[in-house]
Structure formats: structure tokens, C-alpha cells
Structure 1
Amino acid sequence: MPIPTGGYREVAEDLAARITSGEYAPGERLPTYNELSALYDVSVTTVQRAVIVLQTRGLVIGLQGRGLWVAEKSPT
């Protein structure tokens, strides 16, 4: 998957695609903000804004001092 070189929306869409494709599995820890910033060649602030979008969608959960995790799939 090519890495987008844009704003927080593009980063959020790419991360969402990686999560839904299974590249990042439910319950798996995501890379740190700094690692994501380097991966996407954007600022940490841009990554933070992208993560807010993903949290709003229920795709990721942030745990204070412990990192970002892919949300477990809810039973349907």
C-alpha cells in the first residue's frame, strides 16, 4: 500500500485501511506517534489528529501512558 503524503485525513484513511485489511489486528498495539510520524513523513500533531478521527470511528483506543491499540471487534 503506498503511503500517503498529505494531511491527517489521508493518514487516518490509510491507517483505517490497514486496520480493516488485518495488517493491524484487533487488540494489537499500533506504532507510537513518533514512529507513525516518521512512517508518514508528517508532524506528530498530524498523527494525533488522524488518531482522533480513528478513535471517533471506534477503530483505535488510546490508553494513557500505554499507547494506541486496535479496538476489538464488537460482537454482532
Structure 2
Amino acid sequence: MAFGEQPAYLRVASDLREKITNGALPPHTRLPSQARIREEYGVSDTVALEARKVLMAEGLVEGRSGSGTY
């Protein structure tokens, strides 16, 4: 990894955060699935999961068991 380069999960979380704050993903909208994030960003399941965990820790999204992340 080059100096100053963010890990993939932080780059994905940053892009999703931007979509949330600029209204591309409005409140109460379901976040793309882990599979969709994996496909869209070309990352592994682990990276997609960690990106969602970052957003949950920040309070930007919440996970609903069996329903998804909103």
C-alpha cells in the first residue's frame, strides 16, 4: 500500500458516506446489499462488510436483522 493510501473498506465507506450526505441515498433508504457493494466497487465481501460496519459505528446507518441496512 502506498503511503497515505486508505484501505479499500475506508474508501468504500467514504463513497457511501458521500452518497448519504448528498442525498443520493436518502434517509430510510436501504443501503446497497453486500453483494451489490462488492460488484459496484470490485471489492471482497470482507471489504463490503467492513465499510458497512464503519457507517454503522458513525451512526449513519442501522442494520435491521433479516431486512438490510438503512
What TM-score, normalized to structure 2?
A: 0.87
Displacement of 1:64 in angstroms is 1.1
SS in 1 for 2:19: helix
- Please, what is the CA RMSD of the aligned residues? 0.9
The aligned residue for residue 26 of structure 2 is 25
Q: Which structure: greater strand fraction?
A: 1
Q: Which structure: greater helix fraction?
A: 2
Map 1:1-76 → 2, pairs under 5 A: 7-69=8-70
Q: Which amino acid aligns with 2:29?
A: E
SS in 2 for 1:60: coil
What TM-score, normalized to structure 1?
A: 0.80
SS in 1 for 2:59: coil
Deviations 1:16-46 (A, max 9, x none): 0010000000001111100111000001110
Instruction: Name segments (4+ residues, structure 1) moved above 6 Å.
Output: none
In the alignment, structure 2 segments of 5+ residues that lack a partner are: 1-6
